Amino acid sequence: MVANQTLATTKTLAINNVEVVYNSVILVLRGITLEVEPGKVVSLLGPNGAGKSTTLKAISGLLKSELGEVTRGQITWGDERVDNQSAEDIVRTGLVQVIEGRPLFRHLTVEENLRVGGMVYQGGRHIKDDLERVYHYFPRLKDLSKRVSGYLSGGEGQMLVIGRALMAHPQLMMLDEPSLGLAPMLVTEIFEIVRDINKSEGMSVLIVEQNARAALELADYGYVMENGRIVLDGPAAQLRENEDIKEFYLGLNQAGGRKNYREVKHYKRRKRWLG
The predicted pLDDT at position 132 comes to 93
- Cα–Cα distance measured from residue 92 to residue 122, given in angstroms and rounded to the nearest whole number: 9
Same domain flag for 28 and 68: yes
Same domain flag for 69 and 202: yes
Same domain flag for 68 and 126: yes
* 6, part of any domain: no
Same domain flag for 177 and 249: no
Tell whether the torsion through CA atoms of 248, 56, 184 and 199 is positive or negative: negative
The predicted pLDDT at position 83 comes to 94
pLDDT tens across the length of the chain (275 residues) = 454 455 678 899 999 999 999 998 899 999 999 999 999 999 999 888 899 999 999 999 999 888 899 999 999 999 999 999 999 999 999 999 998 877 777 889 999 999 988 887 656 567 888 999 999 999 999 999 999 988 899 889 999 999 999 999 999 999 999 988 888 888 899 999 999 999 999 999 999 988 888 899 999 999 999 999 999 999 999 998 888 887 777 665 544 454 443 444 454 455 455 54
Same domain flag for 216 and 258: no
Same domain flag for 133 and 198: yes
Same domain flag for 225 and 269: no
The predicted pLDDT at position 105 comes to 77
* 8, part of any domain: no
The predicted pLDDT at position 261 comes to 39
The predicted pLDDT at position 264 comes to 45
Burial of 242 (0-12, 13-18, 19+ CB in 10 A): middle
* 2, part of any domain: no
Q: 75 has which bridge partners?
A: 15
- Cα–Cα distance measured from residue 269 to residue 275, given in angstroms and rounded to the nearest whole number: 10
* 168, part of any domain: yes
Q: Which domain holds residue 55?
A: 13-241
**How much is the pTM?**
0.86
When computed from its CA atoms, the radius of gyration of the chain, rounded to whole angstroms, is 19
Instruction: Read off the DSSP letter of residue 151.
Output: G
| Contact between 166 and 133 (Cβ < 8 Å) | yes
Same domain flag for 80 and 145: yes
Beta strand spans in the chain (E):
13-22, 26-36, 41-45, 68-77, 80-81, 95-98, 172-176, 204-209, 221-226, 229-235
The predicted pLDDT at position 273 comes to 54
The predicted pLDDT at position 265 comes to 46
CATH of the domain at 34: 3.40.50.300
* 30, part of any domain: yes
Count of domains observed in the chain: 2
Using DSSP's 3-state secondary structure scheme, residue 195 falls into: helix
* 5, part of any domain: no
* 216, part of any domain: yes
Q: CA–CA distance from 100 to each of 33, 46, 52, 174, 203 (Å)?
A: 22, 15, 11, 10, 20
